[in-house]
Structure 1
């Protein structure tokens, strides 16, 4: 590991450890007899406000973006988060949060997590899954980025599946050899602007090279809000160990999500497969580097719930898309998916179930606290100031 990266990792981890050990942190943020301390790395604002209370979440990162479906030249579809779509969607999300002050706190800084835990509410941090929403030709003042921040945007994902003018996408492919596109010059400028504006950089869906470039370029911790380890499932949407380590080296966090076809090749997915993903990240990058994510609604994947979590039927809705990427020779799509969800976790109680499973797997209490929420809080405290 390069000396400067090692020094940065030690410094950031030291700051995180100091925060975890402080009396203020222990008194105000960890689980109590009345309420656990859980943070979810990615979900969505639910239609039913009662889902928020039922989820037991102290906080979650919410994708509030909207999309335009863009047909690619090769026949596949990319879902672009355009400026017009996302500025409307973030304003609408802000109205929902403000209309429910007994349930939500709109997350601005790490202190809002403390306020949420103390008051029994849930702090929600707005995220957009794709920097396509920043469309301005001149990046001199980044007016659109600042506008999004004014409306509450705190986490911005560089790209979604396919590359854009800032970054390479995980599913980019030339149909023969595959591509691993780097962070572009515009991407470097965007990273600098996000550092300056204290916004959290998300490399989910990025190519491996873009993620590595971003880790090197950023002066603040970066995250992958939702993903899985390629060492377990050899797939383009899963991250190589070097990417997981690079994120950790910035002081950042890697969130393990719930999409089971990227968690395990086993024909029947179980909660043990989810714990194996967590354990892998802990072993290669440390317990401070891993956290929980969802990537489904708080209640779970709706179509699978309707099917009583029948994966054999539910996976059919993904096959047309899957086969279109298989035809492009994108890594991993040659293996037919058998499932979509871990049935045990596709419900509103997933956080408690994961916490219990970690305990059964003999993770010590302090490590469980970090995995279930403390690691997200540490990074949010460091970046969103």
Structure 2
């Protein structure tokens, strides 16, 4: 981990720090071990958007997963808080708790019934995607062939999301679906975790046209720390990450760029056991047809493989002569 300047440390302490796509370290069994709770507290993160429901989960299993999340939060009330509205971010910061905002990366759990969005909204789901990499009944992902756009069912779901106050996320949507969503949505559109295609052309990285359109509509783009930032076989570094971050700031403006690590809060496990588990997961994703090009590399950025990765990013912005104002906006 790079040396952090005193100015960056002070900024990080006072800032509201939000990771727009990050998995809290959920244990297999509750309650959470004390050392893991200590790691969460020490991360300095105010809140995260956490994905649940998987990419092909059904309605019942997703309800059960939400129930587990809520039970997990209730068992550790001094540490965790479910984020349901904007005020909960400030509450989490003031009370030094770790906020968790629930989200979906696909619409599989709707089972072609957009009216179920209201049910999930009532349980605290506030962000949702309509497709994950492949095509779905609602729209098409970045790996879909042919690259179709938003479907009629997708338009109905989007309309329901707008009315219910569930934000639409196009991180995994292809260009056609993304453009359709931007045209059809009455509310701002999010890209919670992606990179910049102008820096490195990859299916999961977004064009300047799309980045600018999201910003113009009042949305926010979160930059991820995944290997898709660089060509394979290179493992991306902090400098590579910052090339995407600074490009996004140039295209979108300081009010429309954040962090969406797409990582676990804990550091990536590079041990033999951790890498074996990664290879097993990769094979499963390949069988499902959702593995992206370059996914054979460990899913972290050198220099950001730490629970305090957002602090490292803030420090890197300051060292690149960005004002503290910009770094604080990027943090949250």
Query: Distance in 1 between the 2:58 and 2:38 partners?
Result: 30
Compute the TM-score of the two structures, normalised by the length of structure 2.
Answer: 0.85
Query: Distance in 2 between the 1:166 and 1:106 partners?
Result: 28
Q: Which residue of 2 aligns with 1:95?
A: 71
Alignment of 1:213-224 (within 5 A): 213-224=180-191
Q: Look up the SS of the partner of 1:126 in the other structure.
A: strand
Q: Which residue of 2 aligns with 1:53?
A: 41
Alignment deviations for residues 75-107 of structure 1 (CA, whole Å, 9 cap, x no partner): xxxx41321221111111111112221112211
Q: Look up the SS of the partner of 1:228 in the other structure.
A: strand
Match of 2:86 among 93, 100, 110: 110
Q: Look up the SS of the partner of 1:194 in the other structure.
A: helix
Number of residue pairs matched by the alignment: 313
Q: Which residue of 1 aligns with 2:308?
A: 349
Query: Distance in 2 between the 1:294 and 1:204 partners?
Result: 12
The alpha-carbon deviation at position 250 of structure 1 amounts to 1.3
Alignment of 1:287-326 (within 5 A): 287-302=254-269, 304=270, 306=271
Residue 206 of structure 2 corresponds to residue 239 of structure 1: yes
Q: Which residue of 2 aligns with 1:161?
A: 133
Alignment deviations for residues 142-199 of structure 1 (CA, whole Å, 9 cap, x no partner): 1x211111211111121111111111111112xxxxx321111111111111110111
CA contact (8 A) 1:256 1:291 kept: yes
Q: Which residue of 1 aligns with 2:19?
A: 40
Q: Look up the SS of the partner of 1:145 in the other structure.
A: helix
Q: Which residue of 1 aligns with 2:230?
A: 264
CA contact (8 A) 1:45 1:64 kept: no
CA contact (8 A) 1:254 1:291 kept: yes
Compute the TM-score of the two structures, normalised by the length of structure 1.
Answer: 0.74
Query: Distance in 2 between the 1:318 and 1:89 partners?
Result: 20
Q: Which residue of 2 aligns with 1:63?
A: 51
Q: Which residue of 2 aligns with 1:227?
A: 194
Alignment deviations for residues 206-248 of structure 1 (CA, whole Å, 9 cap, x no partner): 1111111111111111111111111222221221222111211
Residue 143 of structure 2 corresponds to residue 171 of structure 1: yes
Structure 1's unaligned 5+ residue stretches are 1-30, 68-78, 174-178, 374-385
Q: Look up the SS of the partner of 2:178 in the other structure.
A: helix
CA contact (8 A) 1:235 1:331 kept: no
CA contact (8 A) 1:287 1:367 kept: yes
Distance change in 2, residues 1:45/1:349 (3 Å): closer
The higher radius of gyration belongs to 1
Alignment deviations for residues 300-344 of structure 1 (CA, whole Å, 9 cap, x no partner): 333x3x25999xx9986687579889xx9x9984x7965542221
Q: Once superposed, what is the RMSD of the aligned Cα atoms?
A: 2.8
Query: Distance in 2 between the 1:59 and 1:39 partners?
Result: 5
Query: Distance in 2 between the 1:134 and 1:213 partners?
Result: 20
